[in-house]
A and B are shown apart, each in its own frame.
Chain A
């Protein structure tokens, strides 16, 4: 599968052959760092001064590189397809090799970063628990009733949520058994077969 690069994207990348490979390698390093931690516009200004070009040109070059890497990583395109996609840009062979190496070196990490985007449902973050003994209530005095209070910490799209729940030990045991059963399902022949086929 070849990458479909827009004209604008090709224009932005056209800056890369105009600087030497050490600079492109540096841009590559910046691109991956920006994917890890977010972009920092000050870096563009510094580089623009050193290269005597506008900071917009530098920004487009780096962003073009970021997009090239993320699209390739997202689709998990083969070495050959990457080379063919970049070949269209008409770059010198040395630059093509550099870009390919950049892709292969960083593909796995970029895919990990991309997989963390757009989580949908709330997901488990942590669980706090407390074992209580209820001694009295409005309707009944002189009790000894054990209960478990749970504080479930959830994450959703970067937001933190908590849910406080209370249950008795018997229900908690049942909950644990149900969860264990769910995990056991992974070991059945059916699930094993499905997972094997996906891989």
Chain B
């Protein structure tokens, strides 16, 4: 039983990357080169991911509030399903 769960962990780390850190911030854009007066809130996320060789890469992206709400909904769904497993 122990052996098989250890194998499962190994299989995941050899194939996929590992999420090391999830940083976020909430900001509001107030002005840009194309539009001087803005009131644009956004969520900026920076993921720290380590590939199977251990090399860490940063991936950052931004989401509008509606995009973030969709993002959040996905995780709520994942959490709900995990409860049933």
Residues of A at the B interface (CB closer than 8 Å) are: 127-138, 147, 149, 164
Residue in A127, A132, A137 whose CB lies within 8 Å of B29? A132
The answer to whether A131 touches B34 (Cβ under 8 A) is no
Q: Give residues 1-42 of B contacting A (CB, 8 Å).
A: 22-34, 41
Counted as pairs of residues, one from A and one from B, with CB atoms less than 8 Å apart, the total is: 41
Interface pair B25/A134, CB less than 8 Å apart? yes
The answer on a CB contact under 8 Å between A132 and B30 is yes
- Bound state CA distance, A108 and B18, in angstroms? 57
The residue of chain B having its C-beta at the shortest distance from the C-beta of A126 within the complex is B33
Max chain B CB contacts within 10 Å: which of A129, A132, A147? Answer: A132
Looking across the interface, which residue of chain A has its beta carbon closest to that of B36? A131
The residues of A that contact B22 with a CB separation of less than 8 Å are 138
List the 4 closest pairs (A to B, CB-CB), nearest first: A137-B25, A131-B31, A130-B32, A136-B26
Main secondary structure of the interface of B (DSSP, over half): strand
Q: Mark B34-61, 1 if CB is under 8 A from A, else 0.
A: 1000000100000000000000000010
Q: What residues of A have a CB within 8 angstroms of the CB of B28 in the complex?
A: 132-133, 135
Whole-angstrom distance between the alpha carbons of A136 and B25 in the complex? 6
Check if B33 sits within 8 Å of A132, measured CB to CB: no
Please classify the interface of chain A as helix (H, G, I), strand (E, B), loop, or mixed, using the class held by over half of its residues. Answer: strand
Q: A129-B32, A135-B41 are in contact. List 4 more A-B contacts (CB 8 A).
A: A130-B31, A131-B29, A131-B30, A138-B23
Query: CB within 8 Å of A: which residues of B?
Result: 22-34, 41, 60
Closest partner residue, chain A, to B60 (CB atom): A164
In the assembled complex, 24 residue pairs joining A and B whose CB atoms fall closer than 8 Å, in A order, are A127-B33, A128-B32, A128-B33, A130-B29, A130-B31, A130-B33, A131-B29, A131-B31, A131-B32, A132-B27, A132-B29, A132-B30, A133-B27, A133-B28, A134-B25, A135-B26, A135-B28, A135-B41, A136-B25, A136-B26, A137-B24, A137-B25, A138-B22, A149-B29
CA distance A129 to B31 in the complex (A): 8
Give Cα A138–Cα B25 distance, bound, in whole angstroms.
Answer: 6
